[in-house]
Amino acid sequence: MSFLRPPNLTQLQRILVLLGVYSVVLIAATWIAYGLRFDFEVPEIHERQFGAVWPWVWASKLGVLAAAGQFSSLLSFFSLPDLKRLGVALGLITVGMLGLWHVGESIHSMSRGVIVLDGVLSFLGVAACRLIFRLIRQGTGEKALSETRRIAIVGAGEVGANLARELQTRGGLKPAVFFDDALRKTGTQVHGIPVRGAVELLGEAAAPEIDEVIIAMPSAPGERVRAIVEYLGRLKIPCRTVPSMSQLAEGEIISALRPVEIGDVLGREPADLEVGGLENFYAGECVLVTGAGGSIGSELCRQLVRCGVSRLILLERSESALFDIHSELAGETDCVPELLDITDSQRLSQVLDQYRPAAVFHAAAFKHVGLLERQPLVALRNNILGTHILAKLAREHQVDRVVLISTDKAVEPTNVMGATKRVAERLMEGHALDSSGTRFISVRFGNVLGSSGSVVPIFQRQIAIGGPVTVRDAEVTRYFMSIPEAAGLVLCSGMLGGNGDRFILNMGEPVKIMDLAEQMIRLSGKTPGQEIAIEITGLGPGEKQHERLHASDEQLEASTHSKIQRIRGDRLDADAWRHMQSQLALLEALNGADAIAWLQDTLPEYQAE
């Protein structure tokens, strides 16, 4: 069909071609309307209307077609929304002519039947032209049969149907069958493609030959996605998936197809962190984010931009990380990059005085457990002293709220990192006791998928080189959440929290790290324990077998958000705050040998191994 392929036209050439085609269609529709109305023996009085009235009607129709985007739309695409716009545009002209028939002398002699027939035939004619253009483009865009891969789509819903239509239009990937768990859909068709039952039917002898499976169920539970991936792995059939619904809204489905990731199969439902008024709450505010180039800090910045902040202060000590996040966001809002360390009180005070932020999100912290066990004094100065300096200056500069990002490792800590974050939480409580205006809020959550230094990228690197994948302990478990969830929790807490509040996300059940390793190996197309070995290395210094979300003397209380809980109990009192302030006065003079002793004296619940 290569002789039918339309040439690649410039925008002007396409407009001229369409102008000619539409003009012919509109004139032909009017001629046929008269013929049908008068049995193709048109009276002379009506023939004269062809030259006197209808040229103005045709010009008006071409004008409304242009306004409806029929000259600017790509010829390869013609969908139901396009059809609706076409009907509304031409319908307006027909309705307008019927209205003029009652008040205008010039067209009162015109047949109303012709007006209606002309409107219907014009609509059908232009729609048929657009459909023919699409069919020609679709037919000539198909690859040779030998190059076409047969695709099965799991999920015969709206996303799956849109994906199938896009695949049919583009060619190269041929949707051959739908699989769907809903029994009511079995035996039906979507875009001419048969819908069968569950994807497990692929293992039957009568199943169609499939080269690849695409999972088009963005809202499916993680357990179901994991079961599908494991099943396809046993059949040696590669699979991909569509992204989340929010990502799908940003572009075409095919361009967003990606391999199935570990977050798709973890088995926990992502928390819905949508809170009414969240965007309005931050809109128009000046906001400062410390650690703006980190995994959580950078996502916080992205979500704050979407909330419509008036100015975003990016505070970061890493030059390369600051450059990256500033380059990403600079065109979207007023972003100010500030390269400084939060322990630099003089420079930090200047920044707060210059920009007067309404909110500060404190994401700057050292977090790698093994490294901080070796250098505890560095951890103390950054995670504790830096937090204290920031909180004190925020109160002095009348910042409305300061939100600290903490971790589940702060619960009954067994390592330096967790202990410093627990002290940082205590600092927020202490500053809340002294504050009459600034609100000090803490947010605690577990491991974050894909953050720098977390277990997922470590496993990915180990799998890429052929293993072994190293797991600390066969029974070790951790709580997991996605980076967008973590950032969303922080933003929600900043809106919901009062002075001294501590929050934690309802994170579901903990994940066994051994299971996580096996799932990631399977997602890579390998067999755990055979093609990729798993090696048990033992827990490192300060590491726990199981993390906890709250201590035994803490209680969880519901907040106004169903997925966010407020932590009650074990509050810092005035005497404990005075003791902590006296300890803080000693911190800057510490040497490395005294760091652990200082930490144990300040936080008696922490005992180094």
Domain pair 145-260 / 278-602, same fold: yes
Query: How do beta strands 511-512 and 447-448 pair?
Result: unpaired
For residue 96, what are its two tokens? 């307008």
pLDDT at 457 over 70: yes
State mean pLDDT over 39-56.
68
pLDDT at 244 over 70: no
Domains of the chain, residue spans? 2-141, 145-260, 278-602
For residue 356, what are its two tokens? 């007067």
Check residue 310 and give its pLDDT: 92
Distance in angstroms (rounded) separating the CA atoms of residues 204 and 200: 8
Helix (H) or strand (E) holding 85, with range, is helix 80-103
pLDDT at 252 over 80: no
* DSSP SS3 for 344: coil
pLDDT band at 298 (very low <50, low <70, confident <90, very high): very high
Distance in angstroms (rounded) separating the CA atoms of residues 484 and 299: 7
Q: Which residue has the higher pLDDT, 504 or 57?
A: 504
Percent of the chain with pLDDT over 70: 82
Query: Which among 512, 508, 504, 507 is positioned nearest to 546, based on CA atoms?
Result: 512
pLDDT at 288 over 90: yes
pLDDT at 18 over 90: no
- The DSSP call for residue 270 is P
Helix-helix angle 11-37:112-141, to 10 degrees: 140
CATH architecture observed for domain 278-602: 3-Layer(aba) Sandwich (3.40)
Query: How do beta strands 439-445 and 401-407 pair?
Result: parallel
* DSSP SS3 for 505: strand
Domain 145-260 fold is Rossmann fold (3.40.50)
Query: Which among 502, 503, 500 is positioned nearest to 573, based on CA atoms?
Result: 500
Average pLDDT, the chain: 80
Q: How far is CA 214 from CA 142, 190, 234, 256, in A?
A: 20, 15, 16, 12
Most confidently modeled range among 62-66, 487-491, 547-551: 487-491
For residue 470, what are its two tokens? 């190293």
The percent helix, strand, coil of the chain (3-state, each to 5) is 50, 15, 35
Query: Which among 399, 472, 475 is positioned nearest to 435, based on CA atoms?
Result: 399
Instruction: Please state, as a whole number, how many other Cβ atoms lie within 10 Å of the Cβ of residue 532.
Output: 23
Q: How far is CA 391 from CA 351, 353, 435, in A?
A: 14, 14, 10
pLDDT tens by residue, 541-555:
777 777 777 777 777
pLDDT tens by residue, 566-609:
888 777 888 888 888 888 888 877 877 788 889 888 888 887 65
DSSP string covering 353-374? HHH--SEEEE------HHHHHH
pLDDT tens by residue, 194-205:
888 888 888 776
Query: Which among 299, 444, 465, 470 is positioned nearest to 370, based on CA atoms?
Result: 470
∠ CA(552), CA(558), CA(561), 5° rounding? Answer: 135
- The DSSP call for residue 446 is -
Most confidently modeled range among 234-243, 313-322, 440-449: 313-322
Say which range, 169-183, 259-273, 501-515, has the weakest mean pLDDT.
259-273
pLDDT tens by residue, 315-359:
999 999 999 999 999 888 889 999 999 999 999 999 999 999 999
Check residue 222 and give its pLDDT: 74
Check residue 251 and give its pLDDT: 47
pLDDT tens by residue, 157-203:
888 888 887 777 666 678 888 998 888 888 888 888 888 888 888 87
Check residue 325 and give its pLDDT: 93
Distance in angstroms (rounded) separating the CA atoms of residues 157 and 178: 10
Check residue 423 and give its pLDDT: 93
Check residue 363 and give its pLDDT: 92
Q: How far is CA 234 from CA 237, 238, 356, 515, 557, in A?
A: 8, 10, 58, 17, 44
